[in-house]
Chain A
């Protein structure tokens, strides 16, 4: 039901592409991938949520944990491609101002280059 894959964008960055519903059952799978990258101190983690149609608070909590981890070593965790209903969860949680959120991968990458 959930597919999580990673691909390198350069020596410093990785895109995590998530497809499916992120809920109490599936969020540990996302967490495992993010923690694996933060343990390696991956500088830039871009999370592609364009194929996530549902995310609950456990999914949001997983991303908050990732954000806090990258903050410890000066890295970045950036989100892009959020569907309206997923974005609403961040807005309701007032986390839309805490995360860097971009409409698509190109915009997110452009921001990283600045």
Chain B
């Protein structure tokens, strides 16, 4: 699969319209309901796309973890555990990496509260954001859309 330059693939506002299929080179769109049973599909997709992008296995598993955590956060926080709400995921192969855009239509994230917790605070929960930030090179939340949230994640090849 030939990769487009990242410049060509601008970070367009991904309030994309899923009523109209829009297949493009080096781009995969995945729409799933907010059902935790389906998270494995997301991980398997990531494992394949990161292989195409040239990441080593350790990195591929880490990116799968980060995107899985992002989906889990949407299910838990944007949709409060509802299993029938849409999660739209757009994967874009970049020249030297992978971009993942996650769109939800749930409760808007309070950006002031999205932070990694203190790791010295040993307690269950609250690790997801820390793991995402530890793995990914770009983590950008956008809650300025009319409804819901858009999260942009990017991971670049080191070599």
Contact = CB atoms under 8 A, between A and B. Distances in A.
Interface stretch (A11-19, A37-45, A87-95): A87-95
Contact of B40 (A1, A84, A98): A1
Interface stretch (A50-58, A74-82, A101-109): A50-58
A100 interface: no
A23 B72 contact: yes
A57 B123 contact: no
Interface string B108-149: 000000000001101111011011001100000000000000
A93 B68 CA distance: 16
Judged by DSSP, the binding face of A is helix
Interface residues of A, number: 24
Contact of B123 (A1, A21, A64, A94): A64
Contacts of B62: 85, 88
B75 interface: yes
A61 B36 contact: no
Interface of A: 1, 21, 23-25, 54, 56-58, 60-62, 64-65, 68, 84-85, 88-89, 92-95, 98
A25 B71 CA distance: 12
B150 to A, nearest CB: 21
A25 B123 contact: no
Contacts of B75: 24
Contact of B122 (A54, A89, A92, A98): A98
